[in-house]
Amino acid sequence: MKYTIRSMAILAALGLAVAGGGCAAEAGSPGDAPIAGQATVAPAADGGDETAGVSREQLVETQQMLIDLGYLYGAADGLYGPMTASALKRFQNEHGLEATGEPDEATRKALSGIVVQVGDVRALQQRLIDLGYLRGSADGAFGERSRAAMEQFQTIHGLEATGIPDDRTREVLFSDSARLLPKRLTGGSKGDEVVALQEKLIQFGFLEGAADGSYGTGTKAAVKRFQSHLQAQGSDEGLGIEPTGEATPVTLMLLYDPEYSTYLADIQPGEQGDEVLRVERRLAALGYMDAVADDVMDDYAVSAAEAFRSAAGLGGSAYDKAFIDALFSQDAPVAEHFVIHAIAEGDRGVAVREVQQAMVDGGLTISLPDGIYGPGLVKGVEQLHEYLLSIGSPRAFLYENSGMLTVEAQELLCGGLLTDLPGVFTADDALMTSRVQRRLHTLFFLSRGGVDGTFGEKTRIALKDFQAANGLPATGNADTATLNRLFSPDAACKKLPYRVEVSIDDQRVYVYALNDAGEYELVQTFICSTGLGNATPRGIFLDGGPVNVWHHFSKLDIWARYSFEVEGNIMFHSVLYDKKDPDTLREGSLYALGQKASHGCIRLKVKDAKWLFEHCRHGSLVIIIY
């Protein structure tokens, strides 16, 4: 799609300042350029007293028509000067007349014909306003801004862009097929229209993350990238689009055009640049890439692109227009699984999270998956290596380096390596006992303190509970059927009345209650303050419960209401007080909610701490902090 129209006219139609030759009406002001009788302005002529061979009355009439059509600013004073001559020349040039600058009979006749053609100016203006081409109010003065808006309308509808509403233009303008421009969106805008904008920017690879409906700095930067992309394509030709980050109606029109193609140029393996970044963002969003998108078309990006090509049924081998159009289409196929790649300590992503989950399912760790290859995963790989050596597994060598996992090592681990049981389980097998205990803990049947490598009464009771919850004979023995189920991703967890999740990243507490169908549903969301740095421990906690209505922290000599133990000195509690008195609230603790601020406890509003205190009794909940 290609547009041709004068940029100055379009800028005027969009309410922007026009440089040179006078000033357009202020953006957002009602109406167009000043006309006679509206304001005190400089005369149209600049001091001349000649009337160019016509009567003064005829020249006043001619000037007024030029003003009404947006060729001349100022008052129709009947004085012929350079400004009037220049306006006449411009009109004559644009309408196939000899450009003399004189108000001759042919010119005055053409002007009269056009002014008559304009007809009901207010109706035309209102229709342009309703369709989003003109800002302000319909004031009946067909000036520069109305003319520019009309040119924009004509261009977008494939009409001759004269700015004059001829019969064909009027026919299209008042028809059902007239194209409605989207509503302008700017920084601070919120709502479904912003969600739609963000979703399209994500689809085209200009924005990362989720569509949250808030036009913030990230969205503004993405819009700016799209506008720069339009300029690079030449798709904005004559439309006056500048990379401002403001989603103007024309920007949105191009963004939502179902025939718009984001293709700019073919991409080559090894190439670097913004187009590569855009492609990788889209491959990641569709699930083909797990690594963080960058601007280099490296081997992993090529592998992901080829996986997409196969899923989309594309032929050839080039990353050309056909590939780009398919990749950024609304119905581009989503990956069944990302392209696996080697991971190492310090890496982040879905591949790391899948390995962590396999470790959890297999009883090698109790650390919750967070997608970060950190010390917890390193230790888990060490334990996996030790365990595989203990059972004589020929695959143990794949896990010798705890700080790195190859593609083969990941495929084996996530493909069920830890479900290959070594035979008969015996209670004196400390490594296997620890695996059983860790898995029972992550399924909420055994507290953290019960993971000790000794198969005692607590472990046996937890195993009985697990067997009962999973439809197995509740013997308390770790037989083969029990172990197969225990280390399965489908193992059922213990269903406690409440599940309380604390998101340190979100600074929110989410409370889920067990419904009549045996499923958890969200019943409460609390804003909170967790500990500064890493002071709040992450993990699964099963021994929590209410402690005091008023709780005194002696070391800090402060008070809080409705304390609820998580583990040890880590608690849920209200915001802080200087004394055991509601009137001594420390307001700073209230204002800090929503950000890290505590020494490790989880601070809540008083009403939220009270809700937790009154509803969740000891043994009735699992607390998960992640």
Residue 286, pLDDT above cutoff 70: yes
Q: What pLDDT was estimated at residue 424?
A: 63
Residue 543, pLDDT above cutoff 60: yes
The DSSP code for 583 is G
Give residue-wise pLDDT tens across range 116-154.
555 578 899 999 999 988 988 888 877 778 888 888 888
Listed by start position, the domains of the chain span 7-173, 192-256, 343-486, 498-625
Angle at 519 between CA 515 and CA 524, to 5 degrees: 65
**What architecture is domain 7-173?**
Orthogonal Bundle (1.10)
Q: What pLDDT was estimated at residue 421?
A: 73
**Residue whose C-alpha is closest to residue 247's, from 160, 157, 186:** 186
Q: What pLDDT was estimated at residue 50?
A: 59
Residue 346, pLDDT above cutoff 50: yes
Give residue-wise pLDDT tens across range 16-39.
333 233 333 333 333 343 333 333
Q: What pLDDT was estimated at residue 422?
A: 63
> Tokens 């008042």 belong to which residue?
174
**What is the sign, positive or negative, of the torsion defined by CA atoms of 305, 307, 310, 313?**
negative
Q: How far is CA 118 from CA 25, 169, 183, 600, 614, in A?
A: 20, 11, 27, 73, 74
Q: Is 154 exposed, middle or buried (0-12, 13-18, 19+ CB in 10 A)?
A: buried
The rounded mean pLDDT for the chain is: 88
Angle at 386 between CA 380 and CA 389, to 5 degrees: 140
Whether 192-256 shares its CATH topology with 498-625 is answered: no
Q: What pLDDT was estimated at residue 214?
A: 96
Residue 463, pLDDT above cutoff 80: yes
| Other beta carbons less than 10 A from residue 600's beta carbon | 17
Residue 42, pLDDT above cutoff 80: no
Least-confidence region, from 18-22, 59-63, 309-313? 18-22
Q: What pLDDT was estimated at residue 109?
A: 87
pLDDT higher for 431 or 510? 510
Q: Report the pLDDT averaged over residues 347-370.
A: 94
Q: What pLDDT was estimated at residue 366?
A: 93
Q: List the CATH code of the domain at 192-256.
A: 1.10.101
Give residue-wise pLDDT tens across range 1-21.
443 333 444 444 444 333 233
Residue 69, pLDDT above cutoff 90: no
- Rounded to the nearest 5°, which phi and psi values hold at 552? -105, 125
Q: What pLDDT was estimated at residue 17?
A: 33
Q: What pLDDT was estimated at residue 618?
A: 95
Q: Report the pLDDT averaged over residues 404-408.
A: 97
Q: What pLDDT was estimated at residue 419?
A: 82
Residue 174, pLDDT above cutoff 70: yes
Q: What pLDDT was estimated at residue 427?
A: 74
Q: Is 158 exposed, middle or buried (0-12, 13-18, 19+ CB in 10 A)?
A: exposed
Q: What pLDDT was estimated at residue 32?
A: 43
Q: Which fold is adopted by the domain 498-625?
A: L,D-transpeptidase catalytic domain-like (2.40.440)
Two structure tokens written together for 505: 């990243």
